[in-house]
Chain A
Amino acid sequence: MTAVDTPASRGARPEQPTGDDEPRAGHVPARAAGPPRRAGLIGALSVLLALAVAGLGGALLREALVIGGVVEGSAWLSQASDALDGLAPSATIFVTGMVAFLVGLVLVWIAVRRRSRTARRLAAATGAYLDRRSLVPLAEAHASRVAGVVSAHARIARGRLRLDVLAATEAAHDVENAVAEVVRTQLDALDHPMRVQCSARQALPGIRRSRQMGDSA
């Protein structure tokens, strides 16, 4: 960014990645929206449950009208009670109980599951988020631009970004440091920067020796 930008329109500057929420003169402080979230399983389940509750309410109303004699028909409640009366233990009840138990476990699991966060917040005054899956290609692209890097492979494990780099030079250690530095600088722009680990090895380590052998032959 150049100095031409008006200071009032600037949020977190590149050199101040921690974000600054100070209201600037003549500028209403940005209202940052929360992280993007997927409704996920609980969203779909909520719709199903809402429909089920509506159906249950309707059925109860019907029962009330039938038992009260307003509407002709036989009450489902008395039918169900007749069917269940005198039921003795059986394999059917065991299987039904097992199904109910499993369905209950699934419901509890869906209920306590956290909604997946799909993005990481960037250090900015406004609500700026980087899609979760974008970290790896971003880190790889930046690592690949470091001098001496042949290829870079990134992955996220246990909250850390790990980079495996193939270095063109014998000074793999220098490349390792340079790549880690470049990627770390980028990830500093995250609201909660990640730890970066980089390991580099020399691409085709035998290449020099084989060329010497070829020369001597």
Chain B
Amino acid sequence: MRTAPLLVGRVLALVLGLLLAVGGLASMAWSIGVLANLLAGTPETISTEPVTTALDQTWLPWALGAAGLVLATLALWWIVALVPRPVRHLQLPGSDESGRLSVDAAQAASAVARLLAVRVGGTEDHGIVSREGRTLVIESRVRMPPNADLHRTAAAADETDATMRDLLARPDLAYRAVIRVADAEPHGSARVT
């Protein structure tokens, strides 16, 4: 998921949470009569008179309609932004008016992941291309044996990055290698015995 829509969610959740918490606390205090001691002028029963008055105003439908339209539009933008969109094709240099040269993004990412897996002496989990904010990220997830050298692993990631750049000639791509250790033997055997 991208960052901006999550930030919107965070702010909204915070505001809504605070309102709910304060409102909940206030109604608890009101229902046991504590609120009347704290705040002078606390009503004994709820009166919805202001709402009834507002319902008779001629501007109310317009205001409600405008608010509804704004909320619905924002919500639609938000939902669309929340849905992760997979990158299907990577355009390669050499594309011009006469034709487009592109590569299947999943295949390319998978090949890069396999290359990294070979270099760390492990196996490929998966490779994907995704859009994160404004950056296209090509990600390789691989497993390596637990006794692999971490310095060599880091170097292998750099080498794979360089190879990927040579092959795809897309300097704008960002690379991420996520390496995990294939489930180590000692753990399991220690528990069994």
Contact = CB atoms under 8 A, between A and B. Distances in A.
A52 to B, nearest CB: 8
Contacts of A115: 6
Interface string B48-65: 110110010000111011
Interface string B138-160: 11000001111111111101111
Interface string A124-152: 11111111011001101110110000011
B49 to A, nearest CB: 8
A115 B178 CA distance: 17
B154 A122 contact: yes
A211 B160 CA distance: 55
A36 B176 CA distance: 8
Contact of A36 (B23, B69, B139, B159): B139
A27 B154 CA distance: 18
Contacts of A64: 60-62, 64-65, 68
A115 B2 CA distance: 13
Given A33-B132, A131-B180, A42 B13 contact: yes
Nearest to A103: B20
Contacts of B20: 100-101, 103-104, 107
B85 interface: no
Contact of A33 (B10, B18, B137): B137
A128 B177 contact: yes
Size range of the chain A interface in the assembly: 35 or more
Nearest to A134: B181
B82 to A, nearest CB: 6
Given A57-B70, A64-B62, A122-B154, A127 B176 contact: yes
Contacts of A59: 68
A61 to B, nearest CB: 4
A120 B65 CA distance: 49
A86 to B, nearest CB: 5
**Which 6 A-B residue pairings sit nearest by Cβ, starting from the closest?**
A11-B158, A107-B17, A46-B9, A60-B68, A104-B20, A101-B24
